[in-house]
Structure 1
Amino acid sequence: MPSEPTDSELSVNSEKGILHPREQARHRSLNRLAAGPGIDRFVEWYWMVEWDLREPYLAEILPYPSVNVTFEQPGGAFVNGVCTRKWERELTGRGRCFGVKFWAGGFGAVTGLDVGSFRDEVWPLRDVFADADRLADLIFAEDSDVRRRAVFEAFLSDHLVAADPQYELVRTVIAAMSEDRTLTRVDQVTERFNLPIRKLQRLFRRYVGVGPKWVLRRYRLHDGADLLAGGQTAELADLAVALGYFDQAHFSHEFKEQIGLTPADYAARAQAERQSSYR
């Protein structure tokens, strides 16, 4: 029988991608678990959201360049392709969702699918795995996230593929894009990894589902929103340059286009939420 999670298993604490994180935390619970050995080649973490609300709340996410498999109660089991716009979900009444966040490229490596073919789409899980009809019931029959993880990993183990050098290359490139804030242009990526631009684009289309330029911009927007939400920067012009934008105007335009608020308004809302939580 699976043991309860240890501190190391519960160490997936990044709030990147969650818009207005303090506000969201007041309306739903969020727990995460790292993937187990072997499966962690393809899956980054698992997440469990639950809510019980008298009034509806609109949760907003700036998604990662990743495929998520979600098990919803009520609802079913779904494959969520890479979402290129802000994701919104109205939470109302009672509900819960057990999600599987694949590494960028991981779902494409396991399934052999061209992930770009279902960008911004949601498919029933059975359309990808014909034997997944009862998987949602089996997962929610368990009484802990650790046991739910075990059910999913037992299922996925039957579908794992041999090592794929192309996928491993994609993982390496994606890790650099995510972690290195000095990478702000695609030509920097191609130079670092000695990759022709057309090959990089083909790999990203097949495994990730979006182009390398989009991925860089999304990670830098994650960085910007995370810093603003934490109150860690006051000079928007300096932040824009650090994130690779030509100037503050370009950063503000893209930020508002993707998130719905200017950086200044987003920072002000985050500050108001922090002050409210201290009272």
Structure 2
Amino acid sequence: MVDPTRGVLYPGRLPQFHRLPAEGEAADLVAWVWIPEWDLAPGETSRQDIVGYPALNLVVERDAVTLAGATTRVSHRDLRGRGWAVGALLRPAAVPALTPAPAAIIDEEVRLHEPVLRRAVADAMESGGEGYRRRAALALAEWLVARVGPLDAHGRQANAMTDVLLGPGAAGSPEEAATRLAVSVRTLQRLAHRHVGMSPGAMIRRRRLHDAAERLRGDPAVDLAALAAESGYADHAHLTRDFRAVLGITPRAYRARASG
């Protein structure tokens, strides 16, 4: 089971946070639905630092619907006042129905004019009572299933690509992933570009970074050289270089902040 805080650099700073599984047909389109809720005192700010999963997110808030592209670096959002968001981490099969060029929105968010979706999710979130989060997640999922339509062979192949690159027993290189999928490396690259906007190699590196960060949070005493080997890095230097490039800090500094 995926850690519900995977990709969140400092889980202790989170507001109320829930992660729900996708149900029914939506499981082919959504990896999971995530729902943060916050109610902060006047003048209080909660900064959320995120290293995104190598995927796109469809996000519904009270006054907007946005499509967030995959990210190449750490990002943050400052929460104030009272609010909520309902986000879907998209599986690759869902992406072409929302954008023809995911690479064009890397590290960006674009607003979508989808008032029906926004109202359906907002009504569920603000209805209160037992199960309101699940109702909101279902509203988003049902809209997405209708938007995408029946899953075709290209969508199934794109989902299989992500499973091979990021799932349990994931491939250690694009070449290995292509072999497992019985496609050429060039075909694998086209799939990743069309459905994620990142290269297969970049997706693998992000998975390794998530693995390493999660391990550092869970076991602050872990030896960094051993961690590098366990996470698929060639050595400690490669681990440190990846942390610096994406997070702007070393693994040692991240460990100190995450445990502080």
Shift of 1:156: 2.4
Does residue 61 in structure 1 map to residue 43 in structure 2?
no
Aligned to 1:24: 13
Shift of 1:146: 1.6
Does residue 124 in structure 1 map to residue 94 in structure 2?
no
Aligned to 1:15: 5
Aligned to 1:194: 182
**Alignment partners' CA distance in 2, 1:124 and 1:85:** 21
**Alignment partners' CA distance in 2, 1:240 and 1:231:** 14
Shift of 1:219: 0.5
TM-score for both structures, normalised by structure 1 = 0.82
Shift of 1:182: 6.2
Match of 1:133 among 91, 115, 120: 115
Q: Is contact 2:29-2:145 (8 Å) kept?
A: no
- 1:192-271 correspondence to structure 2 within 5 Å: 192-231=180-219, 234-271=222-259
The two structures, once aligned, show a CA RMSD in angstroms of 2.1
1:199-244 alpha-carbon deviations (Å, 9 max, x no partner): 1111110111111000000001000000001016621112212323
**Alignment partners' CA distance in 2, 1:157 and 1:205:** 22
- 1:163-202 correspondence to structure 2 within 5 Å: 163-180=151-168, 183-202=171-190
Aligned to 1:51: 38
Match of 2:94 among 107, 112, 127: 107
Aligned to 2:69: 81
Give 3-state SS (helix, strand or coil) of 1:38's partner.
helix
Shift of 1:12: 6.6
Mean Cα deviation higher: 34-43 or 52-61: 52-61
Match of 2:83 among 56, 79, 95: 95
Q: What is the aligned-residue identity percentage?
A: 29
Q: Cα–Cα, structure 1 residues 161 and 234, in superposed 2: closer, same or farther, change >3 Å?
A: same
Mean Cα deviation higher: 45-54 or 59-68: 45-54
Runs (4+) of structure 1 exceeding 3 A deviation are 109-112
TM-score for both structures, normalised by structure 2 = 0.88
Q: Quick one: which amino acid aligns to residue 62 of structure 1? A: V
Aligned length: 252
Where in structure 1 are there 5+ consecutive unaligned residues?
Answer: 1-10, 127-131, 273-279
Q: Is contact 1:185-1:244 (8 Å) kept?
A: no
